[in-house]
Structure 1
């Protein structure tokens, strides 16, 4: 639909709303601060029109937007648009492109009145709103939106849009906005109740999710994801790959961790579902900007949420988000709201008793890994993989940096006759489906006559033992940071424990460090397929004796409880700053030390007594007396989440 004035634009429709407002040029070309003009805006049942002139003397019509083409009607944060207040935006579709009209009102009341009226009439016309929008504007000086890091002017948005309230597209009888004390809030709204069927049973509710990341199909049967678009989940019985249907009706598998339920807290970039107190502090301190914040599930009080904020003193403060007797959420009881997003929105504009006003959440490190490249892809064609420089080497091969379809990966090149390749390949498909934030993701294998590669997730900072040694002087004074490493590893091992998977070679050298101090367990299960006698026999010099429990040294009896023993040694490595356990002792001396003398490693100098007690629990002679990884997660979490939370009055 053209935006140019035309004589045919005269409309006999009744006028619903008329006002003189300030308009900024539509973003079809580069604009400057000078092109704001006063226009007479007229809303009728089919169009939003704007004219020259004033209420008393109307001029020519300058343009109109068909209401059915509108994709968003939202506020713009104050000062975001050329330092102006009381601005709202209309995103609409014209010739398959999105355009944005910015309108400046006199006050908040006038702005909200126009937003409500346009949204109501647009919904009556069958408009379907985008799930996300930008609360700021794209600026030429920054080359990006001033509310987020998106540099594409056509990017769909960074903030969740106001939900469409009506149960049916053309029925707006139930349209309403929840009265709140502040401007527009992106409020999650529960899905409408299911419609009863004629036989008395209920029609199943559709599972509607929003894509948080783009996904390019890796194989036939996968479905492309476009960030911000909605998808119906048809089958979510698989843990990591769901069958979904796009808006054009195409079906296929998608990575489950790339979509979030519509109106769920997880669609907000400030919400981190499963995060410990120490992990939140590590993330915020790495960002190190005053007011940087996130919201997480409270581990100390199940069912509650915690707000964590970085202060100008270089510290992180934690606040419980509480609920009053009316069911409203608050941090300060004088500022309560019906939802957590409303609480966050308020404190982004008013400190309201917090140590600082909330600003931006921490920057996330790109897309998360998927369980394999595709829903069943685990054999990778050699021509798709570019093998580059060597990152490290070991007894059984070398690790290279690689590129698969433009994505950086780690490529483990195995030495000839170092492992039972046939047996490993049989298990590789299962191993690619082991997926957890604290496990290095196995993507698949390349099996050619002249080479065998294991392709996995690339971790930028290398092995944990060398990382600890490199930063020893800094890290040993940070007990909380070291506990965070322990908890991350323990979480990954608990996942393996639940899936009946034994690592067999857990040690700091087999854990890798990524950005924002993320630690992941690597090479889980790989030891099963090594055929080197020096490695597989406890009598061999390559066997990891210093991490092995008595039952493995005596009977080669591996279990999750033998992994627990190794985890205790790994914790010792962490709190010693990457030192070698049993330093100076030969393997045969270690066996005598552990089995015959029943002695254990001494407490590292910087290890707190409570932490050392956890180590000794892991080193019980009887495997049945050792804690499970599930129990260890609770024990370590209890240490990491200790401390007081401030309460605001």
Structure 2
């Protein structure tokens, strides 16, 4: 019920508001307030429905930049919600108000717009019909994780709604306001955090998903210096932030995902309208919209014409987000409208290069050892905790490693970081035994995984090829860094969340002293994975890693069998170097995959493909499977 106005008051009513979360750590809550509209401001007071209490907040009309409805049920399943977007202290906020009835909402929206018109307020050209919610860390309407993101719908001044023209915001169409970023140079320095990051070393800066940060120094690859909106500076992991224009600030964009993995996520979700946008592997097509509808995944190429994006119905858009937003409201040639990203397979925060920007020597007292995970040629591996982080620790066998050489190299190795490499976080060198701290991989070694899943996994050809693709990606990265693994094998690859395979133990082999790794020539390497030039001359290179990768593919498609089983190391050298024979094709291995194995096993190193070429070939096989 509306109260009778008095003095300067135009309208007042008892309604519910959502907390505005001006501080990052505040929780989302609702409170009833008396809202009062005057010729100067919108104020709200505590009290109860019988009596108005003290004023708790005030928004001056000349600071208001938008008054719009909110989609029903998007604000914690509430109906009749409207929003007031306004500027305060050089920042932009949104006040969400829950009216009692649809008529009450319409009355308040009209009254606010008219009052703002009288004050010559400048309104934004776009707004968000959904809401930004802390539980999802994104807008419900367009999946933007930037709280200051541009609106995705035209505001009432652009739609020519009921009121005469109200002044537009002259400097930006953004539903956000950053007056400190006045130049193109500063705009280019502005990034959005796409993951939360908790500082792990002195000098690190905490990141909150969806918040903006100014990058001050990006000269280092993995750790940048950034400044928060509160003026705090420190190091941040570069993989945790993206530029304002980057598609990775949207939850529906999956940059580097295969068609097969995409279909797996869509099927697991199983809801019509579940979708994602991914990079396309089709030549001259940059993006693909993958959509689940009527019981199966469907794929639509995003085409380009004169720098405009479109799907089959040829409605043109300047950006991919605009295209996605349009098809959220109009199927227009698709099986159904786009609704939401899949619930499974959500992007997880990548590992950081080390535990901090300059923190690689770990205090052993900070490690809490858990259960044993396995024993290998390098040592015994345990599950462990470092502060709040679950990790794997490897206790090296005493006398098994040339420790001085490895310690010199360890700091450099912590800076090797890729989604398909097991991250080396740090080492313990000030006591015996030497301890290596790495990323924890929940499913253990690829070799163990293959053995445990036989025979079922042998029937999943696509998944087995994806394992090969994952390893190839990690090796391509090492190849680009001029880093030689020397001991690539299924036992040294690990399987993590969502069955992603990562290459581990890179850089360790040349520091290991172990009989299993010694040939009659005194070299240290696993004979059955070794290339001819390694067996003959101990000559390692990325091409010898390519040979070992071929053997690893054979392991994958043979279900983790030992190559050259029941054959001595000396006989293997004879078979490979003198008889020029190779491993036989596993029974269920596609011929196209075996062809790539044989390419990896070319006698001359220069005749073997690079990992980059192998990756391209494996992708092509996946697409045709």
Shorter chain as denominator, the TM-score bin is 0.7 to 0.9
2:534 is aligned, of 542, 552, 559, to: 552
Give the corresponding residue for 1:572: 554
Separation (CA, whole Å) in 2 of partners of 1:449 and 1:60: 66
Q: Could you tell which deviates more after superposition, 464-473 or 565-574?
A: 464-473
Question: What does the per-residue CA deviation read over 1:487-512, in whole Å, with 9 as the maximum and x for residues that have no partner?
Answer: 11111101000100000000111111
Taking structure 1 as the reference length, the TM-score comes to 0.77
- Taking the aligned partners of 1:123 and 1:566, their CA distance within structure 2 comes to 72
Find the aligned partners of 1:30 and 1:614 in 2 and give their Cα distance.
Answer: 54
CA distance in 2, matches of 1:393, 1:120: 74
2:16 alignment partner, one of 24, 30, 36:
24
Question: Is the aligned partner of 1:347 residue 2:327?
Answer: yes
State the TM-score, normalizing by the size of structure 2.
0.80
Q: Which residue is 2:98 aligned to? A: 102
- The answer for unaligned runs of 5 or more in structure 1 is 52-58, 139-143, 150-155, 166-170, 179-185, 196-202, 644-649
Match of 2:192 in 1: 210
Counterpart contact for 2:330–2:337, Cα < 8 Å: yes
Q: What residue number does 1:646 align with?
A: none
Question: In structure 2, do the counterparts of structure 1 residues 551 and 388 end up closer, same or farther at CA, with 3 Å as the change threshold?
Answer: same
In structure 1, the residue corresponding to 2:602 is in which secondary structure?
Answer: coil
Deviation at 1:306, TM superposition (A): 1.0
Kindly state the Cα deviation for residue 350 of structure 1 after the two structures are TM-superposed.
4.4
Q: Say whether the 8 Å CA contact 1:418–1:531 is kept in structure 2.
A: yes
In structure 1, what is the equivalent of residue 237 of structure 2?
255
Q: How far 1:473 moved relative to its partner?
A: 3.1
Structure 2: distance between partners of 1:303 and 1:116:
45
The answer as to 2:219 corresponding to 1:237 is yes
Could you say which residue in structure 2 is the equivalent of 1:448? 430
Q: Does 1:437 align with 2:419?
A: yes
C-alpha separation in 2, matches of 1:120 and 1:256: 44
The 8 Å contact of residues 251 and 341 in structure 2, kept in 1 or not, is answered as: yes
Q: In structure 2, what is the equivalent of residue 321 of structure 1?
A: 302
Q: Would the aligned equivalents of 2:488 and 2:548 in 1 still touch at CA under 8 Å?
A: yes
Between the aligned partners of 1:384 and 1:122, the Cα distance in structure 2 is 60
Inter-partner Cα distance in structure 1 for 2:115 and 2:309: 30
Aligned match of 2:74 in 62, 66, 80? Answer: 80
Q: CA deviation at 1:208?
A: 0.4
Where do residues 401-420 of structure 1 align in structure 2 (5 Å cutoff)? 401-420=383-402
RMSD value, Cα: 4.7
Q: Is the 8 A contact 2:16 2:97 kept in 1?
A: yes
* In structure 1, distance between residues paired with 2:112 and 2:257: 37
Asked if residue 464 in structure 1 is aligned to residue 438 in structure 2, the reply is no
CA distance in 1, matches of 2:118, 2:437: 54
Query: What is the SS of the residue equivalent to 2:471?
Result: helix
Following TM superposition, by how much is the alpha carbon of 1:307 offset from its aligned partner in structure 2, in angstroms? 1.4
Distance 1:399 1:81, change over 3 A: same
Which of 70, 73, 89 lines up with 2:83 in the alignment? 89
CA distance in 2, matches of 1:319, 1:258: 29
Query: Would the alpha carbon gap of residues 122 and 280 (structure 1) be closer, same or farther in structure 2, given more than 3 Å must change?
Result: farther
Q: Assess if the C-alpha contact under 8 Å between 1:93 and 1:99 holds in 2.
A: no
Aligned to 2:163: none
Query: Structure 2: which 5+ residue stretches go unaligned?
Result: 21-26, 47-51, 153-166
- 1:67-466 matches, within 5 Å, as 67=60, 76-81=70-75, 87-90=81-84, 100-103=96-99, 135=131, 158=145, 161-163=148-150, 173-174=169-170, 177=173, 194=183, 206-302=188-284, 304-311=286-293, 313=295, 315-324=296-305, 327-333=307-313, 335-362=315-342, 363=344, 364=346, 366-466=348-448
Alignment partners' CA distance in 1, 2:120 and 2:216: 27
Q: Please tell me whether the aligned partners of residues 510 and 524 of structure 2 are also in contact (alpha carbons under 8 angstroms).
A: no
Cα distance, 1:110 vs structure 2: 9.4
